[in-house]
Amino acid sequence: MKLATIDNGTPDGALVVVSADGLRYLGAGTIAATLQAALDNWAEAEPQLRGLAERLAAGEGEDTSAIAFAAPLPRAWQWLDGSAYRSHGELMETLFGTEPPPPGRPLMYQGLSHRFLSATADVPFPREEDGIDFEGEFGIITDFVPMGVSPREALGHIKLIVQINDWSLRALAPIEMKTGFGWVQAKPACSVAPFAVTPDALGDAWAEGRVHLPLAVDWNGEPFGKAEGGPMEYGFHELVAHAASTRSLCAGTIIGSGTVSNANFREVGSTCIAERRGIEMLDEGAARTGFMRFGDRVRMECRLRDGGLLFGAIDQQVVRG
């Protein structure tokens, strides 16, 4: 099942169910006005939403081409981003002389959640000199998660899967990281692809709490990377359990994978510029790829093995803010 949020001018938009091919939708307002409301009451809402999905599968629904999608959750109470791909982490550790994370502890920070940009919105930044970078990620959305859940229990709290562009300002990131406090200035609002999908929509590409599909990134129309989502050191269920160790998680908590990265990044490419620059530093002694300029575009998409676009596409431009 695919869910989405129509931008109707309100802060949380209006919930719709979308057909598997993304071409038609049915309004879900009689079940839940917003995706947050559906997540707050998921056990009751889900079977009713699946009823709409069945009607869509039978051919009902309106044309999606005429409407504007917001992010699935245009704002959320909690966004926790991991960094679960070791090939990315190891590269950064090699380059910057930082230490690897403690064994058995996923990396995670809490980020800006009061606004998630739509997949096609212009993205405003104050300065090119801040080092504007995209980061292609997968993410999940939970219902309410009690404090202290096991990874196994956490798996059942993963209700939706999303695709995220975690915008990063690379000139600011190391300065903030060095304080130990994590990022505020270096991590403005993320963008999210339009469709939030239930795990069953991935078929066997959802396994062990991981998305076993490639995330294709194009920068200004040129292929930049196509890394597989599978090789996370920790699955999303383990990230959920880590986050819920000393707190319960509210319904609508979004947890990110961190930049998708594969050990053979020289072959498959990267999902952020910082990683490509890191590879250049290692291989050529200096980074030759610059960060994004105002007017640059980035496109990110994830296709099922049958070619279908799973989450819809992120395709957007950075602009002077």
Considering the complex, state which of residue 185 and residue 289 has its C-beta at the smaller distance from its own copies.
Answer: 185
Considering the complex, state which of residue 30 and residue 179 has its C-beta at the smaller distance from its own copies.
Answer: 179
Binding positions for its own copies, 235-294, rule CB under 8 A = 242-243, 245-247, 250, 253
Considering the complex, state which of residue 180 and residue 307 has its C-beta at the smaller distance from its own copies.
Answer: 180
Do 320 and 301 contact (CB within 8 A), yes or no?
A: no
CB of 186 to its own copies, least distance (A): 8
Considering the complex, state which of residue 1 and residue 173 has its C-beta at the smaller distance from its own copies.
Answer: 173
Residues in the chain: 321
Cα–Cα distance measured from residue 217 to residue 61, given in angstroms and rounded to the nearest whole number = 31
Q: Which residue in 219, 227, 234 sits closest to 137, CA to CA?
A: 227
By the rule CB under 8 A, 78 interacts with its own copies: yes
Considering the complex, state which of residue 27 and residue 101 has its C-beta at the smaller distance from its own copies.
Answer: 101
By the rule CB under 8 A, 321 interacts with its own copies: yes
Span from 119-127, 198-206, 288-296, 301-309 in contact with its own copies (CB under 8 A): 119-127
Cα–Cα distance measured from residue 61 to residue 58, given in angstroms and rounded to the nearest whole number = 9
CB of 210 to its own copies, least distance (A): 21
Considering the complex, state which of residue 19 and residue 253 has its C-beta at the smaller distance from its own copies.
Answer: 253
CB of 71 to its own copies, least distance (A): 14
- Residue 240: CB atoms within 10 A of its CB come to 27
Q: Which residue type does 308 have?
A: G
Distance of CA 219 to the CA centre of its chain: 17
CB of 128 to its own copies, least distance (A): 12
**Could you tell me the two tokens for 141?**
């959305």
Binding positions for its own copies, 187-206, rule CB under 8 A = 188-189
Binding positions for its own copies, 143-162, rule CB under 8 A = 147-148
**Could you tell me the two tokens for 163?**
């695709």
Q: Which residue in 267, 5, 315 sits closest to 160, CA to CA?
A: 5
Q: Which residue in 273, 316, 313, 271 sits closest to 297, CA to CA?
A: 316
Taking the CA atoms of the chain, what radius of gyration do you get in angstroms? 19
In this chain, which of 2, 19, 37, 75 binds its own copies, going by CB under 8 A? Answer: 75
Tell me how many degrees the CA angle 32-302-196 measures, rounded to the nearest 5: 10
Output the CA–CA distances (angstroms, integers) from residue 118 to 5, 41, 194, 206, in the order listed.
10, 24, 7, 24
Considering the complex, state which of residue 109 and residue 294 has its C-beta at the smaller distance from its own copies.
Answer: 109
Output the CA–CA distances (angstroms, integers) from residue 234 to 5, 11, 16, 41, 229, in the order listed.
29, 33, 32, 28, 12
Span from 118-126, 151-159, 266-274, 301-309 in contact with its own copies (CB under 8 A): 118-126
Considering the complex, state which of residue 99 and residue 204 has its C-beta at the smaller distance from its own copies.
Answer: 99
By the rule CB under 8 A, 135 interacts with its own copies: no
Binding residues (CB under 8 A) for its own copies: these are 75, 77-78, 80, 83, 98-99, 101-102, 105, 107-115, 124-126, 130, 147-148, 169, 172, 175, 177-186, 188-189, 242-243, 245-247, 250, 253, 321
